[in-house]
Amino acid sequence: MPTLTENTTVAIFGSKTLGVLSMIFILFSCGDSNIETQNPSDYFPLQVGRFVIYDVKVETYSAGKDTPTLSSWQEKDQVIDEELSDSDFQQFTIGRFRRDGNADFWQKTTEYRVRKFREKILTIMDGQTFFSILYPINSASEWNGNTYNNLDKELYRYSDIGVPQTIAGQSFNQTMLVIERQDSSAINKYVGIKQYALGVGLILDDQISLEYCQSEECLANDLKKIESGSHITRTVKQYGVAN
């Protein structure tokens, strides 16, 4: 017959064992850096008044020119409206504004919409719907960014999830990349990469579309001389929430 002391010891031991197992489970759960968040508002925050200002730089390449034409301006994307509905998503309207420099006034150039579902983010721009974000965020995830439009299939994937990054002198504790396209050959180069920061949203958009020289000399010597195309970057300059 076990004594009271023995019973108490067994109970305490069982409690401690359960506690240790719980701690091990928590540590292993937190150790998966591939899944940083399942909350759509973390890497793609949406609320009326929230804005991000970007420095935009464009390199345009033309046949017969050795150097690209350079242009630059600023853009501001700001959430200007939220539509409440009984459906399974929230819809937000984003206003895009443009100015040449800090001293100039903002002028609205377009509007686009973002639909936030529990498991995804869709961006509706210029009559096309793009599958921007898939939840949960995981390095093993892969999805067709053109699922909801009639464009060619483009497999999106995540990379560098939860990595700290400094862009334009600003430090962000957790960022992630969405690789939208990354094709390169002897005759062209197509790259589409977006970087998001936790609690901020899009901080870098890098889009490259280049066609190389295809003459016998260029191909034989792998010169990769750019004949046409563009390189567009949008880099975060400022962000916040307007009153």
Q: Which of 90, 57, 97 is nearest to 76 (CA)?
A: 97
pLDDT tens for the chain, residues 1 to 243? 444 444 444 343 344 444 444 443 444 344 444 444 445 458 999 999 999 999 999 999 998 788 999 999 999 999 999 997 778 899 999 999 999 999 999 999 999 999 999 999 999 999 999 999 999 999 999 999 999 999 999 999 999 999 999 999 999 999 999 999 999 998 999 999 999 999 999 999 999 999 999 888 888 887 888 999 999 999 999 999 997
The CATH number assigned to the domain with range 40-241 reads: 2.40.360
- SS3 sequence, the chain? CCCHHHHHHHHHHHHHHHHHHHHHHHHHHHCCCCCCCCCHHHHCCCCCCEEEEEEEEEEEECCCCCCCEEEEEEEEEEEEEEECCCCCCEEEEEEEEEECCCCCCCEEEEEEEEEECCCEEEEEECCEEEEEEECCCCCCCEEECCCCCCCCCCEEEEEEEEEEEEECCEEEEEEEEEEEEEEECCCEEEEEEEEEECCCEEEEEEEEEEEECCCHHHHHHCCCCEEEEEEEEEEEEEEEECC
Bridge partners for 220 per DSSP: none
pTM attached to this predicted model: 0.82
Q: What is the pLDDT of residue 108?
A: 98
Q: What is the pLDDT of residue 218?
A: 85
Interatomic CA distance for residues 232 and 56, integer angstroms: 7
Q: What is the pLDDT of residue 220?
A: 81
Q: Where are the domains of the chain?
A: 40-241
